[in-house]
Amino acid sequence: EGYKCLIAANAKEALAILEKEPIKVVILDLRMPVMNGLEFIKLYRELHPESLIQFLMITGFIDSNSMRLCFKEGAIDYLYKPITLEEIKSAVDKGLEKYSLASEYRRAWNKNKEKLVHAEKLIKKKHLEMVQLMLQMVNARDKFTEQHCKRVCEISGIIGQKMGLSTHLIAKIKLASLLHDVGKIAIPDKILLKTGQLTPEEYKVVKEHSQKGYEIIKGYVSKEIAEFVLYHHEQFDGKGYPFGLVAARIPLGARIIALADIYDALRNYRPYRRALSKEEAVVTLNKEAIKYDPIVLQALFSATDEIENKVFSKTIEKSG
C-alpha cells in the first residue's frame, strides 16, 4: 500500500526503532509482555515530550478504564481484534493525517506565534457566531431540534471526559454535536414536522440530513469536525448510514455523538412513544449493543447519573 512498516518484537526493540527512524504512526497492543501499551506510551511521552508520533491501540478486551488512561497519555484511537487490513489502513491514514496537521501547525506556530494566537481567537469567535446562526436556522424550522442538539452536546462532552479524551478533542466533538442535525434545515416541513411515524420513503429523505449537514458546514469548520457530522449515523456493526462504515473506520467523535444522540432520543418524548426512563434507556441500549462502540457504551453507562443530573435534571422536554 506504499507504507514503510517496521516491526518490533518487544518494547525495547520498539524504543530503539523510534530513536533511529522517522516514525509517524505506532500501532501497539494494549496487553503486551513486560510492558503493556499504556506503559509504553507513557514512557515514550516522558522521554520525548515534544514528539508528534501518533499512537493507535489494539485490544481484544473491552476495558474502558485502560482506554481512558491511553487517551490521557495521547493515544488517538483503538482497534478491536480481529482486525481487517482495511481497518488498519483506515486508522493509519487518520494517524498520518493528524501527524501532518500537527507538523504544519508546529512549524507555523514557531514562525508566527503571536499572529497565530490572534488568529485562533478570531476563529473561535467566528465558530461561535456560525454555530449560533445555524442553531437559529434550525430552531426557526423546528424548535425541539435545537434543544436536542444542545443536550447531545452536553452528553457527548461527558462521555468524552469519562473516556479521558483531551480537552481539545472534546471541544471538537461538542461543536460537531451542536451541528449534527443542521442538515435537517434542508428536509421539507411536511416530513420534518410530521407528528406520526414516517413512511419508508419519508425516512429515506430524513436520512439525507447527515450528508446535507456535512455540505453546509464543511466550509466553516475543520475536516475532522465536518466528518463527525457526516458519520454520526454510522453504526459499529456496519448497518448505519450513509456509507455503512464498520468499527474503527467510523471516526471516534462520530461514534460518541451517535450514542449521545440515541440516548437523548430515548430519554425524550417522540410522537410514536413516551420518553423512556434512564433504566429503560439502558436496557434498550444493551439490547442493541452491537450497534455501538463497546468502550463508548461503557463510558455512557458509567456516566448516566452525571448525565441525568446535568442534562435531564429538569422536566424532560418534548422533542420532535
Cell of 137: 436556522
The reply to whether 117 and 251 lie within a common domain is yes
Measuring CA to CA, which residue among 76, 63, 54, 17 is closest to residue 36? 63
Q: Return the ∠ at Cα 5 (arms to 254 and 14), rounded to 5°.
A: 90
Give mean pLDDT, residues 30-51: 84
Higher per-residue pLDDT: 307 or 320: 307
Whether the pLDDT of residue 72 is over 90: the answer is no
Q: Are 153 and 246 within one domain?
A: yes
Among 81, 111, 141, the domain boundary falls at 111
Domain that holds residue 162: 113-310
Cite the DSSP H helix spans in the chain.
11-20, 37-47, 64-73, 85-111, 113-141, 143-162, 167-179, 189-192, 200-206, 209-217, 223-230, 252-267, 278-287, 294-302, 304-310
Tell me the one-letter amino acid at 27. I
Q: What is the pLDDT of residues 129-159, one digit of tens each?
A: 777 777 776 766 666 778 888 899 999 999 9
The reported pTM is 0.74
57: three-class secondary structure by DSSP: strand
Q: Is residue 320 part of a domain?
A: no
Q: Is 28 helix (H, G, I), strand (E, B) or coil?
A: strand
Q: Is 26 helix (H, G, I), strand (E, B) or coil?
A: strand
Secondary structure (3-state) at 318: strand
Lowest mean pLDDT among 17-21, 195-199, 289-293: 195-199
For residue 203, CA distances in Å to 112, 150, 206 come to 49, 23, 5
Q: What is the mean pLDDT of residues 157-177?
A: 92
Q: What's the mean pLDDT when you consider all of the chain?
A: 85
| Residue-level pLDDT at 1 | 66
| Span 17-39, average pLDDT | 87
The CATH number of the domain where 124 resides is what? 1.10.3210.10
- Is the pLDDT reported for residue 95 higher than 70? yes
163 located within any domain: yes
Nearest-5° angle of CA 49, CA 54, CA 55? 100
pLDDT at 109: 66
| Spatial contact of 45 and 99, defined as CB atoms under 8 Å apart | no
List, by residue number, the catalytic residues.
184
Average pLDDT over residues 115-132: 68
Q: What is the pLDDT of residues 280-312, one digit of tens each?
A: 999 999 999 999 999 999 999 999 999 999 998
In the chain, what percentage of residues exceed pLDDT 70?
89
pLDDT band, very low/low/confident/very high, at 124 (cuts 50, 70, 90): low
Q: Residue 74 corresponds to which amino acid? A: G
In a domain, 318, yes or no: no
Among 218, 211, 229, residue whose Cα is nearest residue 156: 229
As a whole-number percent, the residues of the chain with pLDDT over 90 amount to 36
Q: Per-residue pLDDT averaged across 270-274, rounded?
A: 73
Most confident of 12-16, 140-144, 197-201, 211-215: 211-215
Q: For residue 29, what is the domain's CATH number?
A: 3.40.50.2300
Q: How far apart are CA 291 and CA 244, in angstroms?
A: 11
How many independent structural domains does the chain possess?
2
Please check whether residue 219 is in contact with residue 245, taking contact to mean a CB–CB distance below 8 angstroms.
no
> Looking at 111, 142, 162, which one is the last position of a domain?
111
pLDDT at 319: 41
Whether residue 168 sits in one domain with residue 135: yes
pLDDT per position as a tens digit, 241-262: 999 998 888 999 999 999 999 9
Phi, psi for residue 280 in degrees, rounded to 5: -65, -40
Cα distances (angstroms) measured from residue 37 to each of 141, 226, 254: 48, 30, 25
Is there a contact between 224 and 253 (Cβ–Cβ < 8 Å)? yes
